[in-house]
Amino acid sequence: MFLRHGYTDASVDAIAAEAGVAKQTIYNHFGGKDQLFRSVISRAQREVGANPDTSALEEWLATSDDLDADLRAFGREAVRGVLREDIVALRRLVIAEWDRHPELLAEWARPRPALEQALARAIGRQAHRGVLDVPDVDLAARQLTGVVFNEATVRSFFGRRQLSGEEIDGIVDAGVGMWLRCYRYRGSQAGACSVTPPA
């Protein structure tokens, strides 16, 4: 109903009728339309791994003995999730409602910082193990999601064009490969991606 009519025009009455329940049932379970839509967003993101169990993700990547392969596996799964048709449609809806309901965009974006924080902690632990050389783990985590997720989003014309499996593999392989070339520990050559601000 939200995708069909938009957030503003999808009434609780219409949603209840579509679900075959009384209007009061919606209010009893969710409190109102705002909370219902937030639940829709959260569930959709969980289903595609956009709102993952960050502790499990952190542990997986932090203890990986093949970080290259595991980052690529993570990237492929995550990209396929964020480009899923219903997720793309929800993202467009949230953006369309931005002016009238900016809180919806904040809700949509909420999982990404938690994901990036988990990645940053995993990156820090791999740096402690001597696998990576990363001066700023938070920046490195944002760069990793940027070169993978943002590239896939742009290449798909923000979800309007379906990417083939080969295209997704290519985007992830290129992004992870570049990131690892920058941050993999190389002894005296380590820290190649450190950025010194101009004087």
Note the pLDDT tens digit of each residue in 160-175.
Answer: 899 999 999 999 999 9
Looking at residue 181, its pLDDT comes to 96
C-alpha 3, offset from chain centre: 20
Q: What is the pLDDT of residue 192?
A: 56
Residue 195 has pLDDT above 60, yes or no: no
pLDDT tens string 39-79 = 888 887 776 655 556 888 999 999 999 999 999 999 999 89
Whether the pTM exceeds 0.85: the reply is no
Alpha helices in the chain (DSSP H): 2-9, 12-19, 23-30, 33-47, 54-62, 67-82, 85-96, 102-109, 111-128, 137-145, 151-155, 165-183
First vs last Cα of the chain: how many Å apart?
55
Q: Kindly list the structural domains of the chain, giving each domain's residue range(s) and its CATH number in brackets, ordered by start.
A: 42-189 (1.10.357.10)
Cα–Cα distance for residue pair 113/107, rounded to 1 Å: 11
